[in-house]
């Protein structure tokens, strides 16, 4: 089966290799996806610099969240403007308010673990 590149924005990317967001960027890259790691801290993940602002990006398949609901608020309009096909709420990031906003804007969301989706070939 041919791998399909799903350009993915990782919000909350961290240069700390013990963080799930770091592992997600690493595994997305390893799986052949284009990855945009967005985070507050300077650093890189496997040579990919962490982007510390909200740049305009091309067609995005998935936004995967690694920030808590309080921090997500500052990302609402950015994510809505990206018009991704889906948003993944990783464990601990579930946010009914944002889920409703996504739904109202025609954006699919799931509550799941990006790492599990990748390892079980469901990404």
Residues 16-74 pLDDT 10s: 999 999 999 999 999 999 999 999 999 999 999 999 999 999 999 999 999 999 999 99
Instruction: For residue 71, give both structure tokens.
Output: 């921090």
Q: State the pTM of this model.
A: 0.96
Could you tell me the pLDDT band of residue 1, with boundaries at 50, 70 and 90? Answer: very low
> For residues 71 and 69, what is the distance between their CA atoms, to the nearest angstrom?
5
CATH for 8-119? 3.40.50.720
Residue 120 to residue 59: CA distance in whole angstroms: 25
Instruction: Provide the CA 122 distance to its chain's centre, in angstroms.
Output: 15
* Count of other CB atoms within 10 angstroms of residue 3: 10
Nearest to residue 13, comparing CAs of 24, 3, 2?
Answer: 24
């Amino acid at each position: 089966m041919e791998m399909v590149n799903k350009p993915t924005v990782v919000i909350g990317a961290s240069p700390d290799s013990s963080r799930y967001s770091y592992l997600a960027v690493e595994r997305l890259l390893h799986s052949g996806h284009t990855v945009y790691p967005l985070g507050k801290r300077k650093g890189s993940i496997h040579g990919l610099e962490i982007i510390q602002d909200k740049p305009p990006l091309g067609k995005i398949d998935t936004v995967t969240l690694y920030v808590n609901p309080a921090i997500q608020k500052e990302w609402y309009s950015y994510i809505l403007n990206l018009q991704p096909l889906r948003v993944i709420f990783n464990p601990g990031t579930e946010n009914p308010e944002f889920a409703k906003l996504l739904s109202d804007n025609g954006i699919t969301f799931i509550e799941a673990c990006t790492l599990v989706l990748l390892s079980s070939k469901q990404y």
